[in-house]
Amino acid sequence: MRIWFQKHAVEGRSPLLDKLYAEHLSKVAGPGTTIEIHTLPPQTYAAELPEELVGFGPLGLLFGDFFARTASTAERDGCAAWISGAGQDPGLAAARVRATIPVIGYGDATWHAARHERHRLGLIGFIPHLAEPITDNIRAAGATLAAYEMIDDGAAVVTRALAQDFDPFVRAYTAAARRAARAGAQWLVPAEGIPNEILVHLGIRDLHGLPVIDPGGLAVKTAEHLVRLRDLGITARSDAGYWNRRPPAVVLEHAERILGARP
């Protein structure tokens, strides 16, 4: 099966990050699964990381619309599932309306798994402005958040790690894990996808006695599982109701082309 993995970053800005994503996702993918990594348009931002753009609701809506449109593109291109690789899951609800293939979120898969396991979450983030939408998503999923810890000088620490200076990153995340443990967390979760790739690369599966969850890997395995359930006829997508009912393909594609253009 082919799975479209939509990143919230621009390809080529960090060669190490591109390499980490490719190695990680190919490793967790099962036999017969190909993960196709897609990124934002190159002109979206000029910096190495997009953290300065993600803290604004109006821009978040634009990112969400772009992500949801890529879910439609993934389905038309023959992909079996689509994954949002961003911690705040931009456009996830809209993507589930626009596409009929399984749609999975980096954060959403983790929040539902934590609720199922009845484990309290300890989020560790480096972008303060994302705490609000991510916390809202955790609450909506019915999971329990014990702590949301921010590392100091997060963007600088992550940028140094992408230059392979990992020590400040490890120290910062270890200190945050200690605070989360004291607050009662049982699972540690990197709030954003970029630090998750660094933690996976470093082989860090435990911090301060607590397991470090890999949301990117969990999203891939969840996608594979949902696709196989449908293939076996165990589950299916309903066409009943306003949000599930599909117009003729030619009508939908025409509307997307006209309404998706700049007014």
Nearest to 155 by CA among 141, 146, 145, 168: 168
Q: What angle do CA 7, 22, 4 make, to 5 degrees?
A: 45
pLDDT one-digit tens code per residue, 221-261: 999 999 999 999 999 999 999 999 999 989 988 988 888 76
Backbone angles phi, psi at 114, to 5 degrees: -65, -40
pLDDT one-digit tens code per residue, 160-172: 999 999 999 999 9
The pLDDT, as a whole number, for residue 261 is 62
| Three-state DSSP class for residue 3 | strand
Beta bridge partners of 212: 188
The pLDDT, as a whole number, for residue 13 is 84
Residues 6+ apart with CB under 8 A from 234: none
pLDDT one-digit tens code per residue, 141-155: 999 999 999 999 999
The pLDDT, as a whole number, for residue 263 is 62
Residues 6+ apart with CB under 8 A from 27: none
What confidence category does residue 176 fall into, taking pLDDT thresholds of 50, 70 and 90?
very high
**Which pair of structure tokens corresponds to residue 60?**
């978040």
Q: What is the pTM assigned to this prediction?
A: 0.94
Residue pair 90/35 in contact by the 8 Å Cβ criterion: no
> Which letter, b or e, does each residue of 173-194 get, where b requires 16 or more Cβ atoms within 10 Å of its Cβ?
bebbbeebbeeebbbbbbbbbb
> Which letter, b or e, does each residue of 24-54 get, where b requires 16 or more Cβ atoms within 10 Å of its Cβ?
bbeebbeeebebebbbbeeeebeebbbbebb
C-alpha 245, offset from chain centre: 27
pLDDT one-digit tens code per residue, 40-66: 988 888 777 777 788 899 999 999 999
pLDDT one-digit tens code per residue, 65-95: 999 999 999 999 999 999 999 999 999 999 9
What confidence category does residue 262 fall into, taking pLDDT thresholds of 50, 70 and 90?
low
Q: Which CATH architecture has domain 2-226?
A: 3-Layer(aba) Sandwich (3.40)
Residue bearing tokens 């993995």: 5
Residues in the chain: 263
The rounded distance, in Å, linking the Cα atoms of 219 and 225 is 10
The H-or-E segment that residue 37 falls in is strand 34-38
pLDDT one-digit tens code per residue, 110-141: 999 999 999 999 999 999 999 999 999 999 99
**Through-space distance between the first and last CA atoms of the chain, rounded to whole angstroms:** 37
Residue bearing tokens 């199922």: 116
DSSP state of 62: H
The rounded distance, in Å, linking the Cα atoms of 124 and 183 is 13
